[in-house]
Amino acid sequence: MGRRAVVIVLDGVGVGGAPDAAEFGDEGANTLGNTARAVGGLEVPNLQALGLGNIAEIAGVEPARSPRASHGLMVELSAAKATLVGHWEMMGIISEEPLPTYPEGFPEWIVERFERETGRKVLGNRPASGTQIIEELGPEQERTGAWIVYTSADSVFQVAAHTGVIPLEELYEACGKAHRMLIGEGKILVERVIARPFHGSPGAYERENENRHDYGIPPPGETYLDRIEAAGHEVVAVGKINDLFDGKGITRHLPAPPDDAAKVDAVLESLGSVGSGLVFANLVDFDAKYGHRRDPEGMAGNLRRFDGRVPELLNALTREDILIITADHGNDPTYRGTDHTRERVPLLVVGGGTPRDLGVRRGFADIGATVAEWLGAERNSLPGESLLS
C-alpha cells in the first residue's frame, strides 16, 4: 500500500514499423515519424529527455544521452488496430479473432430494426469520417430528424445527432437500444456503439466530444484492473477508460473532460487524492481531432502541448510512484484514408529503477503486468512480463 501507478495512453500515437502492417494495408504508416517530417520536426524537449528519440528516428527529437525513463517499443498481438482492443491487451486480454466490420455499411435488417425501435429513419449507413459525414448529412438531419449512422474500418456502430434536433437523452436511449441489439443478445456484431452528438449550423458543425458516450463489450475475462482492485487499491479511470472496460475493475470514474489538457488536469487532481492504486487515462484528442482528420499540424501541436505538461506530471510523482506513457495503436495524419493505422507504440516508464533500454516488447500486456507487480497485485495466469524484472 502507498504505491501508485499512472498509465497515460496517447490515443493513436504510434511509431510505425509493425511487422504485420502490410496485412492491415498500412505499410509505411508512422504517426510520430511522418508527423515530424510533415511539420519540419517536433518540439517535445521533455519527452525527448525521457528517451522518446531513443526508440525511433523522429525529426527534431534527438536521442537523449542519459534518458530519464526506461524506453522501448511494443508490438500489438491482438488481431485489430482498435482502441478497445489495444486497451484490453494492456490489461491482459489478447483478442485473437477480429470482430466484424462493415465496409459496405450495416445489413438492411440492422438498419430496419434500429429505425423501428427508435422511431426515426437512418441516413448514411456507410464507412465515413465523422466530421465529414456530419457536414454532408447534417442539413438533411436537421430537416428530417433522422439519425446519421456510420461506421469505420473498426467494428463500431456510430450514431450522430444534432442536439438541437434530437435531445441528448434520446440519442443515449437509441444507442442503448443499438447496444442491446448488436452486443447484448448473445452474438457480438460490433465492438462498440458510439453516441456522437453535435451542434452548430451547416459549414460550422461541431462535435460535442465531452458528451460522446461509448457502449462497449464487457471484457470477456478477468483483467489486471480486477486484480488491482482485489488487492485493495483504487483504480481511477480518466476519460473513456471506464467505457472501454464497461466499468469492470474501476473504482472511480472521471468523465471525459472537454480536451486533453483537462484530462491531464484530472490525472494531477487524482494524484492529490489517491493513496494507492492506478490512475489510467486516455488522451483521445490525438486520435479524434488530429489523426482521423488527417491533420499533422494539429497532431504536432497537441504533442507539444502534452510535452509542456510532462514536468507537472513528473513533479507530482513520489519515489513510490511509476508513470507509463504509451499508445494503443497508430493514426498517421499523413496516411491515406481516415482510419487507424497498424503500428508499434512507444513505451516510456518513469520510476521503478534505473532507466534502461526495454527493447521491443511482444504484446501490450507488459503494462498491466508491470503495474500489478508494482502494486503487489496477483499476476498469475494473465499474459505479460513485468518491466520491473
Q: HSE on the CB side for 282, CA within 13 Å?
A: 24
| Distances in whole angstroms, Cα of residue 356 to Cα of each of 93, 365, 386, 389 | 27, 19, 14, 12
With residue 88 as reference, give the H or E element that holds it: helix 83-90
The neighbour count for residue 122, using CB atoms within 10 Å, is: 19
Known binding site for Mn(2+): residues? Answer: 11, 287, 292, 328-329, 340
Q: 291-322 burial string, b = 16+ CB within 10 Å, else e? A: bbbbbbebbbebbeebbebbeebbebeeeebb
Known binding site: residues? Answer: 11, 287, 292, 328-329, 340
Q: Which residue has the cell 450495416?
A: 106
Question: Are the C-beta atoms of residues 253 and 242 closer than 8 Å to each other?
Answer: yes
The neighbour count for residue 70, using CB atoms within 10 Å, is: 24
Q: Is the dihedral of CA 10, 13, 15, 18 positive or negative?
A: positive
Nearest Cα to 52, choosing from 68, 75, 29?
68
Nearest Cα to 36, choosing from 23, 22, 47?
47
